[in-house]
Structure 1
Amino acid sequence: MLSYDNIRSDDLRNWIFSEVEFHPLALGKAEAVMSLGNGYMGLRSASEEPYIGEKRNLLVNGTFNKFDEFEVSELPNAADLTRLDIVIDGTRLSLERGTVTDYERSLNLRDAELVRSFVWEYGGKKIRFRFRRFVSLDRLHQIGLLAEITPLEGGDVSLVVRSGIDGQATNSGSQHFHEGEKRIYDKTYLELIQTTTESKVDFVLGAAHHVKINGEKTDLAPKMDIDRRRVAVSYSVKLEEGSTLAFEKLATVFTSRDREFDGDSSLDRVRQTALEELRSMHSAGYDALFEKHCAAWAKVWQQYDISLKSAHSFDVLAIRFAIYHLVIMTPAHDHRMGIGAKGLSGEGYKGHSFWDTEIFILPFYIYSNPVVARALLEYRYLGLEGARAKAKENGYSGAMYPWEAGWPSDGEVTPVWGQVDIVTGEQTKIWSGFIEQHITSDITYAVWHYYKATGDQDFMNRFGYEIIFDTARFWASRLEWNEAKGRYEINEVVGPDEYKEHVDNNAFTNYMAHFNIQLAMEYYETLREREPRLFEELNRKLSLEQAMAEWIAKAKLIYLPEPNESGIIPQDDTYLQKKVIDLSPYKAQSKVGSIFDDYNLDQVGAMQVSKQADIMMLFFLLEDRFAPEIKRANYDYYEDKTLHDSSLSMSTHSILANDFGDGELAYKLFRRATEIDLGPYMHSSDAGIHSASLGGIWECVVLGFAGVRMLGGELHLNPSLPDAWEELSFPLYWQGQRLKVELERHLLRIEADGEAEVSLTVHGREMKFTKQLQISY
């Protein structure tokens, strides 16, 4: 069970949440939601002592590997650095034996530190344990752990602590590494080398220790041990009652894929760099390293400074939780890497990037840290190689982005087989990698969104135009002519609603493809007139003149589903003719996907039931193309049929509900979104956190309740705070300036950090200001 108000001081209020009871059958929740990271690596927060069912994950961004030819690439689970085998009077520490009191495991979001403490009573002795852990944001390759052990009652104890680097870790059984070298330097510095089996990425992991008793360093000599895929040391000591042993473990993680090794990623260079870093860490110690880490996080909270005054303090914690995880999952250090659907908090979705990044996470960075937003889009530019290969393999032109992406050049990495079919007992085929194609236009939309909000012309010249043109070339080749109806269609696809497979003319897919082609046509003319040299370069590369002729011929004939007599836009050609059933038991579910306890996917596909927002996503992204009454009619129709079985869904519906003036529903859906990971459901995050949902929480706040939108390149604000909120403030980057936006119930204040004039529209009123604006609304 999680607690949200266990604070030690007022300055940490709404910065900490805690696990207040140990559950051996529900380990995954805290492991994932309390995970640590810095964008370079993610460390799942398994406890120091081992338990059956635990997941010890250390994932380093961008190090993808294929176990064999029959599997897709995934982030390999590197050697474990966190396990400690602690033996008290000959008995291994385990909370499944003895009596445990005062248990608490907490994540301090402000300082990004994990703290676990408890009192363990066994064999007539009572001992207090306290564990601390951080993954440095100051130095991306550093991990710090500290264990404090104090016998309280029952006399002295005989204590053994065994610590090391364990390369026997796997990805749920798949071993991604060759057996590597192991060594201990000067009886102090442990080193283990791993190399991935297929991608040949070298990992160099190191660890060193300090042992102190009552604050004084000891000269205990460790027992050294090297075995298959592991290297370790153990320390033995007689610890007096009332004394405290402090055991520091300082660790380093380097790989040959790290940017600092560009030009020379030889193993010798990597291991020498790693050893120097480890020696430096060992000299500094946990406290000094942690202090620098905290200073780095203080800058993060200044950068993403959201302030909220709410009647429900959980709202404040939830927003901070979302930002914390967005920071630790994002590879801000390296544009060759994307964001996984589970971040770096678990093996779910194998570390692959989806449309989650562009639609749900990128807006946070566009408006809060455009430098990072650009890096994430450069990752997609690097992915053009794989996208072009996928298009060619499928018989199309241009760039067809993979549904799941890993290393940029890998192309499509979606697994082919998934969960069980409850009717046949066979594995269900995953069709997304074959026919869920809207991601191609989603990426183009994100490029456009970034450009319009930032004005970054350099990005467009170097990367953006090429993405837009080549994705439009794909869509033009993907269109299918229907002679009988005299129109171009897009058939046999999966839209955002993944409960409907092999559908024709999914409205979201068709409209977004049309948007993609129209955008390419617009920028074709712009580039030809303003940047003729760049135009000629891209023309030679992509045959733009030929492509433009095709776009002109086809764009006006693309079928875009229109509202019927009731104002409802059909989600696809057959959705509105499908069977309607009572969905109330499933809409009240305590776990997602409960409908599959009663039906298989084919049966669900024959019903008017949606996994997540589909038509609603269209209204969210292209909102100025649809009349308000059409959006409202469709919202009322499809919300009733949407189970929100995807974590992506509730934030979109919340934003639209707020647009329609249904503040109560908007806030309810926002709260449900915040509880996907942070809420009471103890198995919701076993495979890792839900990265898109966390981006969606920020979207609910800034794009929803504050009403921030980019419409046709113009900034709009339509604030409508929930009844529970009195004040909201947040930073907003727009056209190169950082704006500080402050909202009260009917008051808006904006302060700009630059001198340029800012144009915006607030609740339909166009206005301009320099430096400061204050209006009532």
Structure 2
Amino acid sequence: MSTDRRPRPPVPAGRGTAPAPNRWTWCYDGYDPARERLREALCTLGNGYLATRGAAAESVADGVHYPGTYAAGCYNRLTSQVAGHEVDNEDMVNLPNWLPLRVRARGGPWLSPDTCQVLAHTQELDLRRGTLTRRMRLRDRDGRETAVEETRLVHMGDPHLAGQRVEVTAAGWSGELEIESGLDGRVVNGGVERYRDLDGRHLTDLKAGAPRPDTVTLSCRTSGSGIGVAMACRTRVVGGPPGRAEQTAGAAEAARTAGGGRASLLLTVPVRPGAPVAVEKAVAVHTTRDPAIGDPLDAALARAERAAGFSALLRSHTTAWEELWQRADLEAPGRAGHVLRLHLFHVLQTLSPHTAALDVGVPARGLHGEAYRGHVFWDELFVLPYLNLHLPEVSRALLLYRHRRLGAACRNAAEAGRKGAMYPWQSGSDGREETQRLHLNPRSGRWLPDHSRLQHHVGSAVAYNVWQYYQATGDAEFLHGQGAEMLLQIARFWADAARWDPGRAAYRIEGIVGPDEYHDAYPGASRPGLDDNAYTNVTAAWVLCRALETAGLLPAPRRDELFERIGLGRAELERWEDVSHRLRVPFHEGVVSQFDGYGELAELDWDGYRHRYGDIRRLDRILEAEGDSVNGYQASKQADVLMLGYLFPMPELAGLFRRLGHRLDEETWTATVDHYLARTSHGSTLSELVHGWVLARCRRAEAWSHVRQSLLGDVADVQGGTTGEGIHLGAMGGTLDLVQRCLTGLEPRLGALCLDPVPLPELSRFRLSLHYRGHWGVGVTLRSGRLHVSVPDSDRGPVRIVVGGQARTVAPGTAFTTALPQEGAGTD
């Protein structure tokens, strides 16, 4: 049974709203089974190595709950038979569930909101300390009332440890309490409804054990990739409230079971009215991907045995989070600031300092669920610019993930008849293309061809991140090494992909798909792909320019060695120069065309479709179910041409267009923005972010509605059920970067930190602490129409700051304040 109170997550509101009651907590009041999956995703706890969804400790996977635990980079490949086709997929594996910890009065039902009358139910995610606390007051079928409070953590200091503490208080009854704690390996990948026809049984060789009176273990391996996984769980009944020394309670009787894919410990404890009984659980997790271990089971067992009690674990975990917040925090007032901190919390849980030691990429849905199968797309484009100025070692590691797969990208290109590196649209363990050949339209029930692997612009995203990382950090060692090799091979691919068209006197890139994703072919065409996608061509020209610049920056011995190793000669460099000046950019009716022929497509009856369907974000599915195709219309899923305004400040973008033989003035860009604003359905959480960014820099008054939607994306699940399958990490990271770079106009450059603020009326006060060129804690504060920049005291040299085109030098231990060129438009 459930209460009739609905969860009330804070959501960003407009100007003048009161701040959230506690900016460091995210709370839900009441139990609502229909929104449990959403809560589980948003209450996920992680540390960059391991993450666990915020599922109830007493739950199993069913129509309401979905416990899920994921280790970064732990993939497995399975082949399924679907609609008469053999479908091969590599998934991020759902590991054994370490959460099981349930209680009951002896002989009664296990206590759960699903089996008892709910008298009270709250969930509190503590963002400062990285803990999740559930408080329940339940009445069982025999009328007994019991209060249960569970607190859990996934340790930010020791990435292999997790812990729980459950306190149970009988209200007006006495007797015996049964507590079951354990590990459950009977899990599958089943968290995404549309994947249910696919094989999700990734774990094999499950072995359970009970080597010590208070400890059980579980080991297994993935069926194809052969990754060994081991967990050890130590459970103790303790005396005294949290914070006091733990001691094993002698009154508990224990029974251990191991087998059938699970291991558990059943404790029987006397209970009396009003006297809390507490049980603590420490869990250690290791895999064969871990360095400096022998057998993962031995390592997990030893770590669990050494683990401190819960209060000590909590103290060291809190300290690790405090240090992380000092490096990465963004402070803004009100509801928007509250949501931004939640977004940052989830970015840091997915990509923490521990990630720097791993061979992993940026999973599009975090470590929070199984949507997109845990694959890596282009979302690092939206995440790394923030990390560059806070956790540069993590950005470097994420770029090294791409470099380790450069060989695979070159093989992908060779198989397509191209030179250089063609990075896959979806990447997993080894760098091969993981994009499925078929996808399901849940509206029509039909499996359809999937051509999204033609989004070769992902290579430009990798190159962009290489260059942005170098600009922010000055890491010449990386640029001259792995960075240069990636840039040159990606540039080589674009130059080879460009075909000279004598009739148009331009180079053309044909047969690709742009960021829009709706358009994957021309109406009635026999082959997939489009020609001269503006975003792809302009970013390809930019890559060629940066590759040429990088070649010039390389020390001569390094340049000679690299050119010889990859077989790069002067003739190719000359072609790069030529292609970078003459790649075709199509226009129609005075605006930049999304691709060649876009202006000839039909106009869609937008009002009619909104009237008939309401939510038309996934317009492609609607039209396909009607027997039509979005390929025939001027309709976009998400920002495509406007992505250029997201990546490049207008002076740089105008310079790129000049290089390509076009004038991109304010009038043309404004007309282009208006054209696509009216023809985009925002079927991706990234779309509102990009539109908000572009408008904030050119038409500030119109930006907030899009920024607000990007903030709401996951917390309000605006895509209609997708967040429960995993948060949208790119969109979360992008909102942080919107404040950090868009609203401040911040551009980290080798010679200076450039700022050109354009605060929004609804988000005009905030503070950032940046890591720039070896200076830790450079403060940037906007408030009351004034910009304050401080450089912490150190033995390093001064920082050159450029504000509104005016440069000044700021010595360590000093600061300056200046009025913004335009008047600050209010406060939040």
Normalising by structure 2, we get a TM-score of 0.87
Taking a change above 3 Å as real, the CA distance of residues 594 and 389 of structure 1, as seen in their structure-2 partners, is closer
1:74 pairs with one of 91, 111, 117: 91
- Show the counterpart of 1:87: 104
Give the drift of 1:12: 7.8
- Alpha-carbon distance in 2 for matches of 1:556, 1:4: 51
Deviates more, 1:192-201 or 1:484-493: 484-493
- Show the counterpart of 1:625: 653
Question: Does the 8 Å CA contact 1:5/1:16 hold for their aligned counterparts?
Answer: no
Question: Does the 8 Å CA contact 1:511/1:560 hold for their aligned counterparts?
Answer: yes
Question: Does the 8 Å CA contact 2:642/2:691 hold for their aligned counterparts?
Answer: yes
Q: How does 1:624-663 map to 2 (within 5 A)?
A: 624-626=652-654, 627-663=665-701
Q: Which amino acid aligns with 2:138?
A: W
Aligned: 1:99 with 2:141: no
Question: Does the 8 Å CA contact 1:81/1:166 hold for their aligned counterparts?
Answer: yes
Give the drift of 1:109: 0.6
- Show the counterpart of 1:447: 466
- Show the counterpart of 2:83: none
Aligned: 1:540 with 2:564: yes
Taking a change above 3 Å as real, the CA distance of residues 522 and 410 of structure 1, as seen in their structure-2 partners, is closer
Q: 1:374-395 CA distances to partner (integer Å, 9 max, x unpaired)? A: 1111111112122112112212
Question: Does the 8 Å CA contact 2:588/2:599 hold for their aligned counterparts?
Answer: no
Q: 1:449-493 CA distances to partner (integer Å, 9 max, x unpaired)? A: 111222110111221110111111111222223343232211111
Give the drift of 1:169: 0.7
- Alpha-carbon distance in 2 for matches of 1:323, 1:386: 32
- Alpha-carbon distance in 1 for matches of 2:614, 2:772: 40
Q: How does 1:594-613 map to 2 (within 5 A)?
A: 594-596=618-620, 598-600=622-624, 603-613=629-639
Give the drift of 1:646: 0.7
Aligned: 1:348 with 2:371: yes
Question: Does the 8 Å CA contact 1:2/1:680 hold for their aligned counterparts?
Answer: no
- Show the counterpart of 2:657: none
Taking a change above 3 Å as real, the CA distance of residues 733 and 22 of structure 1, as seen in their structure-2 partners, is same
Q: Which amino acid aligns with 2:726?
A: G
- Show the counterpart of 2:544: 517
- Show the counterpart of 2:432: 411
Taking a change above 3 Å as real, the CA distance of residues 752 and 586 of structure 1, as seen in their structure-2 partners, is farther
Taking a change above 3 Å as real, the CA distance of residues 28 and 422 of structure 1, as seen in their structure-2 partners, is closer
Give the drift of 1:564: 4.4
Q: Secondary structure at the match of 1:232?
A: strand
Q: Which amino acid aligns with 2:806?
A: R
Give the drift of 1:4: 4.5
- Alpha-carbon distance in 1 for matches of 2:603, 2:170: 64
- Show the counterpart of 1:667: 704
Q: Secondary structure at the match of 1:364?
A: helix
- Show the counterpart of 2:299: 273
Give the drift of 1:578: 1.6
Taking a change above 3 Å as real, the CA distance of residues 325 and 775 of structure 1, as seen in their structure-2 partners, is same
Taking a change above 3 Å as real, the CA distance of residues 131 and 590 of structure 1, as seen in their structure-2 partners, is farther
Taking a change above 3 Å as real, the CA distance of residues 524 and 214 of structure 1, as seen in their structure-2 partners, is closer
Aligned: 1:45 with 2:54: yes
Give the drift of 1:178: 1.7
Give the drift of 1:176: 1.3
Q: Secondary structure at the match of 1:170?
A: coil
- Show the counterpart of 2:770: 732
Question: Does the 8 Å CA contact 1:180/1:193 hold for their aligned counterparts?
Answer: yes
Question: Does the 8 Å CA contact 1:195/1:203 hold for their aligned counterparts?
Answer: yes
- Alpha-carbon distance in 2 for matches of 1:177, 1:575: 47
Aligned: 1:761 with 2:819: no
1:467 pairs with one of 486, 500, 504: 486
1:743 pairs with one of 758, 782, 801: 782
- Show the counterpart of 1:249: 281
Give the drift of 1:214: 5.8
- Show the counterpart of 2:126: 108
- Alpha-carbon distance in 2 for matches of 1:390, 1:399: 7
- Alpha-carbon distance in 1 for matches of 2:530, 2:147: 60
- Show the counterpart of 2:662: none
Q: Which amino acid aligns with 2:314?
A: F
- Show the counterpart of 1:436: 455
Taking a change above 3 Å as real, the CA distance of residues 684 and 218 of structure 1, as seen in their structure-2 partners, is same
- Show the counterpart of 1:332: 355
Question: Does the 8 Å CA contact 1:35/1:42 hold for their aligned counterparts?
Answer: yes
2:343 pairs with one of 322, 327, 330: 322
Q: 1:631-650 CA distances to partner (integer Å, 9 max, x unpaired)? A: 22211111111122111111
Give the drift of 1:11: 12
- Show the counterpart of 1:236: 268
Question: Does the 8 Å CA contact 1:3/1:17 hold for their aligned counterparts?
Answer: no
- Show the counterpart of 2:196: none
Give the drift of 1:565: 5.0
Question: Does the 8 Å CA contact 1:658/1:666 hold for their aligned counterparts?
Answer: yes
Give the drift of 1:583: 2.5
- Alpha-carbon distance in 2 for matches of 1:343, 1:315: 21
Give the drift of 1:672: 1.1
- Alpha-carbon distance in 2 for matches of 1:683, 1:161: 34
- Alpha-carbon distance in 2 for matches of 1:572, 1:243: 70
- Alpha-carbon distance in 1 for matches of 2:581, 2:740: 35
Give the drift of 1:759: 3.0
CA RMSD of the aligned region, Å? 2.4
- Show the counterpart of 1:503: 530
Question: Does the 8 Å CA contact 1:183/1:190 hold for their aligned counterparts?
Answer: yes
Identity %: 26
Q: 1:360-380 CA distances to partner (integer Å, 9 max, x unpaired)? A: 000111122222211111111
- Alpha-carbon distance in 2 for matches of 1:50, 1:401: 40
Give the drift of 1:498: 0.7
- Show the counterpart of 1:28: 37
Gaps of 5+ in 1: none
- Show the counterpart of 1:303: 327
Taking a change above 3 Å as real, the CA distance of residues 555 and 684 of structure 1, as seen in their structure-2 partners, is closer
Alignment: residue pair count:
752
Deviates more, 1:546-555 or 1:81-90: 546-555
